[in-house]
């Protein structure tokens, strides 16, 4: 399954990237992120692998993040692996003008196992909705300084 979502953030690209590329800021726009632990490599650099834990209702979801490519200010590519799913994400940062940035989020999911394949076939909109939620939270964090933590 592949899709793209995007959003305009009314801030210069350098400011968007500075906030996006700081791992300490992830908790402010990735709702549910409880912990991020570096497993190998240098934090924020190509090849770095981290374990991420998310609260999702009463469940905890754990995934491994690998930074595949970092071509900032233009793009950054990640691979996320969790039970039954592998997700490659390319985030692109396009200058709209000197005070606006389009963030484009390209997603590709590979489902493993019958249950995950059926789930993805029945609920593809759920994945796109979650990606859009993250982008909206990033926009609010960059533009207004609001955090998803403020809603807890």
- Residue 119 forms part of a structural domain: yes
Check whether 128 has a pLDDT greater than 90.
Answer: no
- Residue 36 forms part of a structural domain: yes
- Residue 152 forms part of a structural domain: no
- Residue 55 forms part of a structural domain: yes
Q: Which residues of 66-93 are buried (b: 16+ CB within 10 A; e: fewer)?
A: bbeebeeeeebbbbbbeeebebbbbbbb
Average pLDDT over residues 21-31: 92
Cis peptide before 73 (omega within 30 of 0): yes
- Residue 111 forms part of a structural domain: yes
Average pLDDT, the chain: 90
Average pLDDT over residues 124-142: 88
- Residue 62 forms part of a structural domain: yes
CATH number at residue 19: 3.30.530.20
Check whether 110 has a pLDDT greater than 90.
Answer: no
Global confidence as pTM: 0.87
Band of pLDDT at residue 140, cut at 50, 70 and 90: very high
In percent, the amount of the chain with pLDDT more than 90 equals 68
Average pLDDT over residues 11-27: 95
pLDDT, position 122: 62
Q: How many domains does the chain have?
A: 1
- Residue 33 forms part of a structural domain: yes
- Residue 151 forms part of a structural domain: no
3-state secondary structure the chain: CEEEEEEEECCCHHHHHHHHCCHHHHHHHCCCEEEEEEEECCCCCCCCEEEEEEEECCEEEEEEEEEEEEECCCEEEEEEEECCEEEEEEEEEEEEECCEEEEEEEEEEEECCHHHHHHHHHCHHHHHHHHHHHHHHHHHHHHHCCCHHHHC
Check whether 45 has a pLDDT greater than 60.
Answer: yes
pLDDT, position 102: 98
Per the structure, the complete domain to which residue 88 belongs is given by 2-146
């Amino acid at each position: 399954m592949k899709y793209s979502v995007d959003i305009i953030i009314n801030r210069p690209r350098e400011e968007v990237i500075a906030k996006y590329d700081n791992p300490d800021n992830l908790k402010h726009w990735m709702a549910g992120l409880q912990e991020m632990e570096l497993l190998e490599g240098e934090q924020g650099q190509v090849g770095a692998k981290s374990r991420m834990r998310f609260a999702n209702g009463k469940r905890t979801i754990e995934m491994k993040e690998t930074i595949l490519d970092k071509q900032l200010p233009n793009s950054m590519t990640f691979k996320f692996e969790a039970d039954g799913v592998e997700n490659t994400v390319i985030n692109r940062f396009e200058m709209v003008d000197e005070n606006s940035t389009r963030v484009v989020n390209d997603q590709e999911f590979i489902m493993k196992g019958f249950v995950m394949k059926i789930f993805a076939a029945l609920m593809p909109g759920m994945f796109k909705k979650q990606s859009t939620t993250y982008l909206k939270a990033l926009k609010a964090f960059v533009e207004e300084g609001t955090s998803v933590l403020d809603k807890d």
